[in-house]
A = this chain, B = another copy of it.
């Protein structure tokens, strides 16, 4: 059905991307290929697994009491994430077709840490990146207007997916984005339409966004009820 890419190609690509850390793990890397909604393999003994996103995107979600799903972590290309400690019921699933991951045994990584000071530092670095990702999402969710949140999200995406012209190919659907931003799908759509009507972005096709006014996009973030009566902002 789909063109099968030989694992060695991924492997070479992986090596090309990686630092000292993962070069030492060549022998233990496992390439995983997933389609949308397929779950990321979890258990590996007891220590869990670390993954690296080679292509596609992955979400960690939780189901709220009312049945809404909320995305608690969104892993894009070149992100690392950890799967394990699964006392929490948070399914981790591929969010796009053709998602490709490199998986490592956490137990093996921990062993490496004991013998390699440099590697231990890089693994700590990777863990802190997860924390940073989480904090960035908190900042995005802290925007009051949905236009704020979408703007913040687009600026985050641009660093990953943007080309020179400022075009961004959205890796996720409006529905996933709504679950990431914790708002309704309709509001997300309206935010896109609104930003477009104001000349800040252009929708090139349905999944590609062109930033036409970066300044406005950046200033959009954090402006709370910008059309309110008073315009004086407290310092």
Q: Which A residues are within 8 Å of any B CB, using their own CB?
A: 62, 64-68, 70, 72-73, 82, 85, 110, 113-114, 117, 120-121, 124, 127-128, 130-131, 134-135, 137-139, 141-144, 182, 218-219, 221-224, 233-235
Residue pair A141, B141 in contact (C-beta under 8 Å)? yes
Name the 7 nearest CB pairs between A and B, nearest first: A64-B222, A134-B134, A65-B222, A142-B182, A66-B222, A70-B142, A141-B141
Contacts A65-B221, A72-B135 given; 8 further ones with Cβ under 8 A? Answer: A64-B142, A72-B139, A73-B135, A110-B124, A127-B127, A131-B134, A141-B142, A144-B182
**What residues of chain B lie closer than 8 Å to A85, measured between beta carbons?**
128
**CB<8 Å pairs between A and B, sample of 24:** A64-B139, A64-B221, A64-B222, A65-B218, A65-B222, A66-B233, A67-B233, A67-B234, A68-B222, A70-B138, A70-B142, A72-B135, A72-B139, A73-B135, A110-B120, A114-B114, A114-B120, A127-B128, A131-B131, A131-B134, A134-B134, A137-B138, A141-B182, A144-B182
| A85→B139 CA distance, assembly (Å) | 18
- In the complex, A85 Cα to B141 Cα: how many Å? 23
Chain B residues contacting A70 (CB-CB under 8 Å) are: 138-139, 142
Name A182's closest neighbour in chain B (CB-CB). B142
Q: Which of A66, A130, A182, A221 has the most CB of B within 10 A?
A: A66
Alpha-carbon distance A65/B234, docked complex (angstroms): 11
Partner of A131, one of B130, B221, B222: B130
